[in-house]
Amino acid sequence: MEMETELTTKKESPKLLGMFTSPGLQFERIKQNPKIWVPLIIISIIYAVGMTLMALSMDAETLVGSGIPEDQAEIFLVVTKVITAITGIFAPIITIVISSAIHLIIAKIANSPVSFKQLFSMNTYITIIAAVGLIINMTVRFVIGGDPRINITSLAGLLNQDKVGVLSFIEVFGIWGVILTALGLHKTAQFSKGLAWTIAIAFFLIGIGFGLVGTLFQGAAKL
């Protein structure tokens, strides 16, 4: 009976919603039966909607505060909105590809038998957390206003900060993603717990670093 149950589990496909309720089980399913296209399309659609809401939440005042000349703010606003909306379609795909490639390199060094398809599937399913976080934050920003670059689920949002800085990158869904990445690397990629957590945290810190560099170039970072 136990063997039949195990075989049934191996044949079952991972579920996106299962990443919220039973992530460990989904990672085991991804290892046995990695899926890519359907979840990737769903996540891209969610991201596109979220980024469109972000674009609609932008105003000229936000750009002026970022260092854009006031007389050029309206033109930049239109261009920024279009680019932001389009970015929503491709951003998750590019991020998943890069993350999976780096994870595969580390896997080869660590002699893990995981394949690129398994890693790509794993990272795709993990991205549903960020996608839902984006929708929630941008929907609220669209309704109540405020700088869409500052998530309400971040420390900066909770403290009502009006400048993008370190605290704006420390937020609930980001931390949730770190935890799932560590769990996924351990269960799907068969990394040791120590290595899995090290990689997950390193990716998180690097992401914060890139975010801060971007805001510093805009002259808007508040450290």
For the stretch 158-216, pLDDT in tens is 888 877 778 888 999 999 999 999 999 999 999 999 999 999 999 999 988 887 776 66
Residue 114 · residue 185 · CB < 8 Å: no
Please give the Cα distance from 161 to 217 (Å, whole number). Answer: 19
Give the pTM: 0.87
Tokens representing 192 are 């040791």
> If pLDDT is split at 50, 70 and 90, which confidence band does 2 have?
very low
Write 133-137 long-range contacts (CB < 8 A, 24+).
133/171, 133/172, 133/173, 133/174, 133/176, 134/46, 134/47, 134/50, 134/51, 134/54, 134/173, 135/46, 135/49, 135/50, 135/53, 137/50
The ranges assigned to domains in the chain are 23-217
> If pLDDT is split at 50, 70 and 90, which confidence band does 1 have?
very low
Please give the Cα distance from 138 to 34 (Å, whole number). Answer: 30
State the average pLDDT over residues 102-113.
96
Integer angstrom CA distances of residue 43 from 104, 127, 188: 22, 7, 20
pLDDT score of 221 more than 90? no
Per residue in 131-146, pLDDT (tens digit) is 999 999 999 999 998 8
Q: In this structure, what are the phi and psi dihedrals at residue 171, rounded to the nearest 5 degrees?
A: -140, 165
